[in-house]
Chain A
């Protein structure tokens, strides 16, 4: 009898919990509904539309040519005279920017982690480039680099480094690299702040123990500090690869992709297809290619990093 009572009580508890759980699930679902609605409206629908358009002829200036295009838009994009240039520029822009930002961010984070006087002031000051709006930062740098009245050229000529002013953003060889430099200047504070947080979370006793065991500064850096920063570094680098590769506004403000497409990246090429040629089919095809690339990056990151960590 007692056994039956316990068995019955146990089933009742399970039943009651199940009811409560179901109620929680319903409640949770209701909470998600608004977000889901906006996600579908603002993200999923436009993305689906872009994919749909990429397989259709859709040129606002040539309505006579419409209908299913198959892979024609993708082929036209690949055959565009400036596609390979834009792809190469996107890789250079992304790799150099992220590498430069990481190195500068790490160096400044380590410096700001030292017990120096006025550390708080430096920590506040270093974030300034990051909080300056992109358009203002871009226009200010354009003026500073102008050959006729820019302060950078003035200094370089006065210091004897240059014989005459140089049009950094207006020459084929230097436009993209100059834009990369300015992007590094603008973005490295994000790395600094993130890596500084990572550095502060490294237990001091580990570093002290290593020092007592005879590990020098370099050894502690390579074998303790860097491995401890691995997680935060990968997250920051991964986010910035995406942010930098899809960046449009900074290059647009600085060079508009010129001169002669020498600093044109894929997002600017998308803009050119859409807003100069009004060929939304080709613009959507290129956007879809970029989307596929970004999703691939995320999947690689997910499988090799997040799953690896779970094990």
Chain B
């Protein structure tokens, strides 16, 4: 009997403990009291972890996708530490999460109502996060910030929806044509091609003279839609246009000229493969293969971002000859302007979050962390930085809609063109339908 009582007590304790543990999962910031409790918990954790005496300070959770092993990563960590040391009322908990898993982790945290206060992110997620209504309206904060005018106006415009600023620029990934000058010279060319046709003409010559392909593309993965939207823009084709009702629509099927121009883009991709301008494997390259092979000078040219400068140390000799030019085009000079945003999520301590965001946008921070790809007009490094920033005015961005289904459809379209070698016009039609279907599913299709 005594044993039974003890056992029952033990069981009751275990059940209570389990119930308490499961209750920990429901930490939704839906109420102010919850948020307060959460904030104070984090603050306590931060104080304990760092041994600081800043109990009671607001603790911000900052998810960053930098690489801690690089100079840039170390600089970011150093700057965050500086911010913490200089603020008694705000403490930042920095968590490094690579881009490979950041989106999934953010989506899980969003669904659990437990987002960080501020995070890095890709521009492709902007429409989606805006749609989820989790982004704070930063317009009043930005209007009061004295350095607002130092940010490129078209960058801020791209992050504004219905007159509300919904994210801040973290860095710019403007794409330029990078080329190995020595490889082109070995093939008898003193400068890179200016148009698609020139590129296709040069390709067999470069292959014959150097044994290497002229060009590199990403046929799959996150970068392939970024390149595709650039080539579409270079041929005056728009992915989805905002209509009178404020919603979006792909209009290729209503406009035969635009459909034909979209088909020309897929034909260009096919020509790149058929003429040997790109390696056969490039049809399914992701960004890793594209970058790695360019850094190792396995091919001559690529449309890529300024981050390649950070990889010169991997092959200093082979990268010595790299030069920068504007991307070649068909009808209109255009390049993809990746505005990597800083996402600031709705919370009860937005003042503190924006205080930290201002620090991340400061000239001091960008001069150290992003000297060649800063969204600030007063931070432009000589050399690579200048050449890339000169292309800012011709930058195109994704439409501000949920892009999950659309970028997937763009990847599929490239697969149909490059792997299945389908008729370019049919591929363009398929993509047009898939884009509108995706818009319809998310309730963003005009007329739906």
Contacts and interface: CB of A to CB of B under 8 A. Distances in A.
Say whether A associates with B. Answer: yes
Interface of A: 27, 30, 33-34, 37-38, 41, 59-62, 64-65, 147-148, 165, 167, 170-172, 258-261, 272, 275-279
A61 B18 contact: no
Contact of A277 (B4, B104, B220, B404): B404
Contacts of A64: 443
Contacts of B348: none
Given A148-B293, A148-B298, A259-B419, A37 B18 contact: yes
Interface string B426-445: 00000000000010011100
Contacts, number: 83
A69 to B, nearest CB: 13
16 contacts: A59-B441, A59-B442, A61-B132, A61-B402, A61-B404, A61-B441, A61-B443, A62-B442, A65-B443, A167-B280, A170-B284, A258-B415, A259-B219, A260-B420, A261-B415, A276-B405
Interface of B is mostly: helix
Interface string B388-419: 00000000000000101100100010011001
B107 A278 contact: yes
Interface string B288-308: 010001000010000000000
A148 B289 contact: yes
Interface stretch (B8-16, B57-65, B255-263): B8-16
Contacts of B131: 61-62
Contacts of A171: 284, 419
A62 B420 contact: no
Given A27-B4, A61-B443, A148-B281, 6 more contacts: A34-B18, A61-B404, A259-B219, A259-B415, A259-B419, A277-B404
A197 B265 CA distance: 60
A33 B220 contact: no
B20 interface: no
B189 interface: no
A278 B284 contact: no
A167 B408 CA distance: 22
A261 B220 CA distance: 11
B150 interface: no
B281 A30 contact: no
A170 B281 contact: yes
A172 B415 CA distance: 10
Nearest to B7: A30
A62 B293 CA distance: 41
Interface in B39-59: none
A80 B367 CA distance: 49
B11 A30 contact: yes
Contact of B405 (A33, A148, A277): A277
B330 interface: no
Interface string B306-344: 000000000000000000000000000000000000000
Given A62-B442, A272-B408, A260 B416 contact: yes
A44 B176 CA distance: 53
A34 B11 contact: yes
Interface of A is mostly: loop
A61 B442 contact: yes
Contacts of B441: 59, 61-62, 277, 279
Nearest to A259: B284
A148 B442 CA distance: 40
B227 interface: no
A145 B140 CA distance: 53
A253 B404 CA distance: 20
Given A33-B15, A34-B11, A275-B104, A261 B412 contact: yes
B281 A147 contact: yes
B217 to A, nearest CB: 13
Nearest to A279: B441
Nearest to B405: A277
A275 B11 contact: no
B144 interface: no
A259 B443 CA distance: 29
Contacts of A261: 412, 415
Nearest to B15: A37
A34 B416 CA distance: 53
* Residue in A30, A148, A261 whose Cβ sees the most chain B Cβ within 10 Å: A148
B283 interface: yes
B236 interface: no
Given A30-B7, A34-B14, A41-B22, A172 B420 contact: yes
B182 interface: no
B220 A259 contact: yes
Contacts of B128: 61, 278
Interface in B120-178: 128, 131-132
A153 B8 CA distance: 64
Nearest to B19: A37
B111 interface: yes
Interface string B268-284: 00000000000011011
B11 A33 contact: yes
A24 to B, nearest CB: 12
Nearest to A41: B22
Contacts of B104: 275
Nearest to A164: B280
* Residue in B22, B281, B420 whose Cβ sees the most chain A Cβ within 10 Å: B281
B72 to A, nearest CB: 24
Nearest to A30: B11
Contacts of A170: 281, 283-284
Nearest to B17: A34
A60 B18 CA distance: 30
Contacts of A30: 7-8, 11
A27 B7 contact: yes
Contacts of A275: 104, 107
B222 to A, nearest CB: 11
A172 B284 CA distance: 10
Question: What 9 A-B pairs have minimum CB-CB distances, sorted nearest first?
Answer: A260-B415, A170-B284, A62-B443, A61-B442, A61-B402, A276-B404, A259-B284, A167-B281, A147-B281
Nearest to A169: B284
A221 to B, nearest CB: 44
Contacts of A165: 281
Nearest to B128: A61
Contacts of B416: 260
Contacts of A27: 4, 7
A34 B15 contact: yes
Contacts of A259: 219-220, 283-284, 415, 419
B111 A260 contact: no
A72 to B, nearest CB: 12
Given A148-B293, A170-B284, A276 B442 contact: no
B412 A60 contact: no
